Amino acid sequence: MQYQVKLAGLRDFGALMKLQKQIANEAKHLAITGKDRRDSLLYAFAKTLVHRKRVHTFIALDEGKVVGYITAISGKFLKVRGTSYVVMGVLASYRGRGIGTELLKRAEELARGHGMHRMELEVFEKNEDAVRLYEKLGFVTEGRRREAIKTPDGYDDIIWMGKLLDERVASPLRVKDGKVTERIAA
C-alpha cells in the first residue's frame, strides 16, 4: 500500500490534533498520555501561527486519513538555529510499514533545505523498534536521562539521539524565506 506524505497546512490542523490525541491514548512510549491535560485547540493553533517559520510538520495519509506525523522544530536562539529537533508519531495499526522511515527522510530533506547542521530527538529506551529505526537512518546515541519516565512497570530511560548532516549532500527541497516552495525533480 502506498502512503502520501505531505507538508501539513492549516487545513490539516484539526486532523493532526485528533491524530496526536489518538496516538497519546494508545502509545506506551510517549511522555504524554491520554489522561494529561492538553492545550486547547485555539491555543495550539495560535502557537502554530506564531512559530510557523521554525516549526514544520509532515503528515502521512492513507486514502485521505492522517495516520502519522513528524514535526521538525528549528532552534529558537541563534547559537542553536542549526539544530532540528524532531517529534514523530504513527498510529499503532500503521507501524512497521515504512511510514516512520518516510517521515524521517522528509524531515531530513527539510533540515538540509534549511541548512541545518544536525537533527536530534529523544526516545524511550524500551521503545526498541523506534531506536532501531533511528539507528538505521544514521542517528547515534548521544546521552541518556536515567529513569526519567515513570511507567506502569517502573522507570524507563530517555535516550538522546542525534545525526550530523553532511553539508555536501544537497536537499531535494527548495526553501525560500523559511517556507518549502517546491520539490526538486530527481
Residue 168, domain member (yes or no): no
List the CATH number of the domain containing 11: 3.40.630.30
d(Cα 104, Cα 71) in Å, to the nearest integer? 10
Residue 84, domain member (yes or no): yes
Number of domains the chain contains: 1
Predicted confidence (pLDDT) per residue in 18-73, tens digit: 888 888 888 776 655 555 556 655 555 556 655 566 788 999 999 999 999 999 98
Q: Which bin fits 89, alpha (ψ -120 to 50), beta or left (φ > 0)?
A: beta
Decide if pLDDT at 91 tops 80: yes
E strands in 125-172: 140-151, 154-164
Residue 11, domain member (yes or no): yes
- Note the pLDDT of residue 1: 55
Tell me, what amino acid is at 26?
A: E
**More confident: 167 or 144:** 144
d(Cα 110, Cα 175) in Å, to the nearest integer? 8
**More confident: 69 or 152:** 69
Domain with 84 in it: 4-119
